[in-house]
Structure 1
Amino acid sequence: MTSTPSPLGRPLTASGSLPGSPLGAEKTRRYDRQLRLWGDHGQTALEAAKLCLIHAGATGKSLGQPRGAAVAQYLLELNNEVRGDSVDETPEHILAHRPDFFKSFTLVVATDMSEKSLKQLSSLLWQANIPLMVVRAYGFISYIRLQVKEHTIVESHPDNEFPDLRLDQPFPALIQFMESQDMKAMDKHEHMHTPYVVILYKYLQKWKAEHGNQMPINYKEKKQFKETILEGVLKSPDGLPEDEENFTEAVNAVNTTLIPSKVPDEVQAILDDDQCMNLNLKSSDFWFIVRGIRDFLESTGHLPLKGTIPDMFSDSQRYIQLQLVYRKKADEDAEEVLKYVQIHLETAGRPAESISEAKVKSFCRNAFNLRLIRCGASIAEEFDGHSPNNQELGQILEQDPDSPAIYYVIFRGVDRFYSEHNVLPGVLDDQVEPDIGKLKNCVAKVLADCHLASVNISDDNIHEVCRYGGSELHAMASIIGGCAAQEVIKLITRQYVPISNLFLYNCMTSQTITLKV
């Protein structure tokens, strides 16, 4: 067993920032690529984390040394800022004699645990609200099962994030700036360097005046709107359109900037959550700020402005002016949200200054991308058949008998097999065929416990798992280990969206599946 306090060492400064001292500059250089992904605050969270890895499989083992000690040594060699130790005790012994040991960690990663021990650990960490990640590589199948009671995410980093320009709901300062831009009176240089946001606004007002104050919505209308924009391109002396890059940008941005500024469904669900509506002294900062955003939404009819604009072809002066218009409005919105937050903090009995202005501003910048993950049930509850997600799993298996999800059920049967026979199925060459029937019975018991007795799993799949004989292939362990490392980073930094709550990879068919169990 290994316990690794931090993947990257200790926090750099009391404020949690990287710049400043020579030491900070050195770490900024070392972790430059990581900082581009999750910033200095994410880096600080990683450095302050304390991780526990239970068991170490699919690794070279030093002769005469405990495997945990050997693995800990090799892990520490990867980064001299890491501090870690190995514990030469079984998880079962620790759970029985000093279970609070596991409560000292930020996150626990478990491999190769028996069903009984995993249930004990699951219940312990569930009550302590500490995330548990189970990682397994078995033959050509591997999976990650995440247990987390509640995981809130502010910086979800969506793949397709649209700019928040509010052209459908322009605010007074934006309208004032736009109206100050008289494109008909501009010379050629000014015309060709007008920010595309101004162009879109001007032609949108013209469109709305001709279409009952409605924006272009469908494909046909947006195509017509794009054609209208292109009509505004300057003409050369011979009557040909000039090459105005800003107008090209405006046309290309129609589909991403004329999206109505409505509240995304996932965010609305968070705003309507009981945790948001019923704040108390134990509520996290996340829920106090979410409540402030909800109050702001009810007062204004829209979420706080993000405050950033994309790069665009423009002269520097007007780009900076436009940037300041959006930034100032975003700051004003954040100040209003902060006032609501402070009111709720005082009502709950917390100091009004216990949540910083900087934290509220970060929330407001990401208000459209807030995410919330709840597993619904612990692993122990799932194993006992009390998971609310069993019905969803059953529907998947009934609709697609070849779904990769069948292997998760079979592996649950493997765990039951080990509990009953104290050996994994198919480990002995002469026991592969006899073990098929035994494993099938164990899988049937698992399905019955989950109230999924009607689900039928092919004997061929059960036979396949028996053939693995409990083998853990290095290649498979490497793949799923890399995936697990990504999920660990997401959980610790509270950035990007982790799995919810099972990820399974079938190497034979190159299939993956993510679902709740």
Structure 2
Amino acid sequence: MQNDARYDRQIRLWGDEGQSCIEHASVCVLSASALGCEIIKSLVLAGIRSVYIIDSAVELNPSVEGGFDIGNPEDIITKDMNFLRQFTVIVGCNLNIDVAARINDFLFGKNIPFVHARSYGLVGFVRISVQEHTIIDTHEENISPDLRLDCPFPALSELVESVDLSQMHYDVHSHTPYLILFLKTLALWRKQYGQDDFPDNREKRKTFETIFMSLRMPHPENGSYREENFVEGQAAMVRSLKRTTIPLGVKELLDHPKARRPDLTQFWLLTAALRRFVIANEVLPVRGSLPDMISDSESYVLLATKFQDKAKQDAKEVMSYLHAFLTEQGVSTDIIKFNDCEFFCKKAAFLRVQHGTTTAQEMKSSLKEVFDDIRNADFAPSPITGVPQIPPAVWYVLLRAIDRFHSEKSRFPGTNGVPCTIDAYDLKARVIDLIMETEVSSC
């Protein structure tokens, strides 16, 4: 409870799962420069489990476990870099680009995220490099509800069949959840269109809406046909009347080689189990959550319970496939808890996998698209300040040139007392080199 109060605002952003990941993460920060200190401060305030700093002597917030190593962080490439494997994330601050690339290459093969951050005056960048990043909770906004109108599960069908709208009093009728009304309407609608059809286009929805509104009951006193649950259902119709499908991204994920022969990471083991569930059922597990609906408490709780029970039942089936797979591999079935499987099933429609590239690959990549963006950019003065607006692509090219400058001279432009005009000339020469290399590679 104390942590919930302390981190209340950020939990609203990334949820309990995100906060749990932060509180179990250990981060190594290479260089406690001004940039590094700001990063460390933000990590500590967010509740990171531990921070290890390679730089000079430090003091840490007593709520955070931490350690430090006095020395030049760039010397780490001359030592055994296996030391870095103990950390969840490595953050490099203002590192020499060649050093950053070598550290990144080592971490990339271990699938440990490397965050390369650089601030140069008032300009900076952050590059995140990881071979594979799996995402369960993508925090999607405005998602369509999982109502299973086109393929109701048995318990839901039984509940709907037990409801007799014609025998209801007005108060009960006007507090029947619109999901039940939709399913009642769908049964009548299919008598006209066929049992396998579904009102998933505008023309069909219009006839569905006509039948839906015909189910209204007049008010016993004034005879009006304005039941709030019907008004609410009419507004939710377009969003709700959708077939139950598996998103394309999730289909691709289930066809991934790792979904067929997973490694022993939690994400891919659960994905392999989910794949077996989909093969058996042709749909994803029921999400188990419902939108708010105008209803009396008893009716809504009963309906919500049916969905929650089905979601748990589906999660148990996925868990059984997981246990079967682990048993086949001779691995303990205790490595993944049911709560984790249940959460995975709830988010099954939003699973994502991202694949990254290394710093070295970026340094070797063509800048053609970047220079095209610069050529097409609008450098018109800002209507507020009157100063020309410099597009980010320009700063990116300059930062790439600065990396070359720093690699060759072991210092940044404008430092060590060297006149800025001399360094500006040298920096311009490196920008020209980048342009020439891009032109040659494009030929």
Aligned position for 1:491:
none
Aligned position for 1:162:
144
- Which of structures 1 and 2 has the larger relative contact order (alpha carbons within 8 angstroms, sep 6+)? 1
Q: For the Cα contact (< 8 Å) 1:207–1:225, is it kept in 2?
A: yes
Aligned position for 1:360:
341
Aligned position for 1:430:
421
Aligned position for 1:305:
286
C-alpha distance 439-346 of structure 1, shift in aligned 2 (>3 A): same
Aligned position for 2:404:
416
Q: TM-score, normalised by structure 1?
A: 0.72
CA distance in 1: counterparts of 2:395 and 2:433, whole angstroms: 13
2:25 equivalent to 1:49: yes
Match of 2:305, as an amino acid? L
CA distance in 2: counterparts of 1:223 and 1:396, whole angstroms: 49
CA distance in 2: counterparts of 1:124 and 1:436, whole angstroms: 30
CA distance in 2: counterparts of 1:145 and 1:317, whole angstroms: 52
Aligned position for 2:363:
383
Q: For the Cα contact (< 8 Å) 1:69–1:85, is it kept in 2?
A: no
C-alpha distance 277-405 of structure 1, shift in aligned 2 (>3 A): farther
Aligned position for 1:17:
none
1:288 aligned to which of 269, 275, 280: 269
Aligned position for 1:489:
none
Aligned position for 1:29:
5
Identity %: 32
Q: Deviation of residue 306 (structure 1)?
A: 0.9
CA distance in 2: counterparts of 1:362 and 1:156, whole angstroms: 12
Aligned position for 1:87:
69
Q: Deviation of residue 452 (structure 1)?
A: 4.7
Q: For the Cα contact (< 8 Å) 1:106–1:130, is it kept in 2?
A: yes
2:176 equivalent to 1:194: yes
Q: Deviation of residue 426 (structure 1)?
A: 5.5
Q: How does 1:77-116 map to 2 (within 5 A)?
A: 77=61, 80-116=62-98
Q: Deviation of residue 383 (structure 1)?
A: 2.5
CA deviation profile, 1:158-214 (whole Å, cap 9, x unmatched) = 112221110011111111111111112111001110011111111222223223342
Match of 1:183, as an amino acid? L
Q: For the Cα contact (< 8 Å) 1:409–1:447, is it kept in 2?
A: no
Match of 1:424, as an amino acid? F
C-alpha distance 394-168 of structure 1, shift in aligned 2 (>3 A): farther
SS of equivalent residue, structure 2 residue 272: helix
Q: TM-score, normalised by structure 2?
A: 0.83
C-alpha distance 406-160 of structure 1, shift in aligned 2 (>3 A): farther
Match of 1:304, as an amino acid? P
CA distance in 1: counterparts of 2:297 and 2:134, whole angstroms: 38
Aligned position for 1:504:
none
Aligned position for 2:311:
330
Match of 1:344, as an amino acid? F
CA distance in 2: counterparts of 1:202 and 1:142, whole angstroms: 59
CA distance in 2: counterparts of 1:418 and 1:35, whole angstroms: 40
Identify which range, 363-372 or 407-416, moves more after superposition: 407-416
C-alpha distance 168-407 of structure 1, shift in aligned 2 (>3 A): farther
**How many residues of Structure 1 are paired with residues of Structure 2 in the alignment?**
410
CA distance in 1: counterparts of 2:115 and 2:441, whole angstroms: 25
CA distance in 2: counterparts of 1:157 and 1:125, whole angstroms: 27
CA distance in 1: counterparts of 2:156 and 2:162, whole angstroms: 10
C-alpha distance 224-394 of structure 1, shift in aligned 2 (>3 A): farther
2:244 aligned to which of 252, 261, 267: 261
2:431 equivalent to 1:440: yes
